[in-house]
Structure 1
Amino acid sequence: MAAQAQYEELARQLSAFGVVKRDLGRIMPAVCSPGSAAVLTLLGRHGDMRMSNLSELLAVDMSVTSRHVAHLAERGWIDRSPDPADRRSRILHLTPEGRTVLAELYRRSVALLAERLSDWTDDEIGQLIRLMSRLRAGFGDGRSTLHRPPPPPAPPSRPAPPPLHETTRTPA
């Protein structure tokens, strides 16, 4: 098991990892926010799905998901069709234009990673992929703890109340 100092350093490194995500976000087209890119990526990876499933995978509130979906639908990158099992729900799916945008997002991301990691060996990149996959798997897909507050701390144990003593009453 790793020492406490190693976990502390890991926490610092993960916090600093935001710079990588920001750089990846900067290469996206202006009309495609990182949130929109995440929606396209999830639909590309998992296929058609309900908005509630998408919201779970994004680990965000349904209102945030709805804004991303509306933005993408306005651009013609996704379609919302009635769910045959529940006409009140909508099934989201990528359009051909959405698939083209997604392919461009991947192309840009791969180009940036290839540029920034050009001095890494294939083995080092493979090791990073394996370790990141394992780390992500250790946290699950985000759905298990979504929208659940952390459990409250256990109440402090209280001593048992003193026994009740019978009171003496004078009969009236």
Structure 2
Amino acid sequence: MTGLKQDRGDDDVREQLLASVGEQLGALLSAARALTAASAAQVHPDLQPAAFHVVRWLHAFGPAHAGAIAEGVAMDKSAVSRLIRDLKGVGLLRAAPDPEDRRATILSLTPLGEKRMKKAFEQKGQVFLQRTAHWSTEELATFAELLRRFNTPPP
């Protein structure tokens, strides 16, 4: 009988801890959205935050067709097409004919787009540095490992 009470106590503690993890993940997601909005504004103040995802994807993976970008950022093709139009309009993106299929277009960042993306990444990095400046190397290693484990689906 005592074992059952102990198990219930452990369940209560685990439930409270999971609720706390959920709260902190919610806070993290809110902070991430705010940081993405700030990064988007850094890239160009007139752009929607979603445009930052397109720019970031192109920065990471290089020139691509609009369909590949839409798939890569998990957005609807029509939404990505509007973002691409806006990015081209402010000089951050360029379109060129696909050398393998002249009917298709390859999109890439302009030098200005690369420059603005680099600056946005630097500012984002500063936020991470500020938040972890007082952490020890061991704490950073633990945090990185726990995040990796959390983000890795179970087998």
Give secondary structure in 1 for the equivalent of 2:153: helix
Q: Which amino acid aligns with 1:48?
A: P
Q: Distance in 2 between matches of 1:90 and 1:120?
A: 47
Percent of aligned pairs with the same residue?
25
- 57-66 vs 3-12, greater mean Cα deviation: 3-12
1:37–1:105 CA contact under 8 A, matched in 2: no
**Inter-CA distance 82–23: structure 2 relative to 1 (3 Å threshold):** same
Q: Which amino acid aligns with 2:38?
A: I
**Inter-CA distance 41–137: structure 2 relative to 1 (3 Å threshold):** farther
The correspondence of residues 75-90 of structure 1 with structure 2, limited to 5 A, is 75-90=90-105
Aligned residues: 137
1:82–1:90 CA contact under 8 A, matched in 2: yes
TM-score relative to the length of structure 1: 0.66
Q: Which amino acid aligns with 1:107?
A: E
Matched residue, 1:16: 27
Matched residue, 1:169: none
Match of 1:98 among 113, 118, 124: 113
- Return the offset for 1:44: 1.1
Q: Distance in 1 between matches of 2:98 and 2:151?
A: 31
Matched residue, 1:143: none
- 77-86 vs 124-133, greater mean Cα deviation: 124-133
- Return the offset for 1:12: 4.3
Q: Which runs of 5+ in 2 are unaligned?
A: 1-10
**Inter-CA distance 97–62: structure 2 relative to 1 (3 Å threshold):** same
Give secondary structure in 2 for the equivalent of 1:16: helix
**Inter-CA distance 132–33: structure 2 relative to 1 (3 Å threshold):** farther
**Inter-CA distance 86–32: structure 2 relative to 1 (3 Å threshold):** same
- 105-114 vs 125-134, greater mean Cα deviation: 125-134
- Return the offset for 1:100: 0.4
Q: Distance in 2 between matches of 1:136 and 1:71?
A: 33
Give secondary structure in 2 for the equivalent of 1:17: helix
Structure having the larger proportion of residues in helix: 2
- Return the offset for 1:66: 0.9
State the superposition RMSD in angstroms. 2.6
Q: Distance in 2 between matches of 1:132 and 1:61?
A: 29
**Inter-CA distance 22–134: structure 2 relative to 1 (3 Å threshold):** same
Q: Distance in 1 between matches of 2:92 and 2:100?
A: 24
Q: Which runs of 5+ in 1 are unaligned?
A: 140-172
TM-score relative to the length of structure 2: 0.73
Task: Write out per-residue CA displacement over residues 51-75 of structure 1, whole angstroms, 9 at most, x where no aligned residue.
Answer: 1111111111001111111111111
Matched residue, 2:71: 56
Q: Distance in 1 between matches of 2:62 and 2:120?
A: 17
**Inter-CA distance 115–15: structure 2 relative to 1 (3 Å threshold):** same
- Structure with higher Rg: it is 1
Matched residue, 1:34: 49
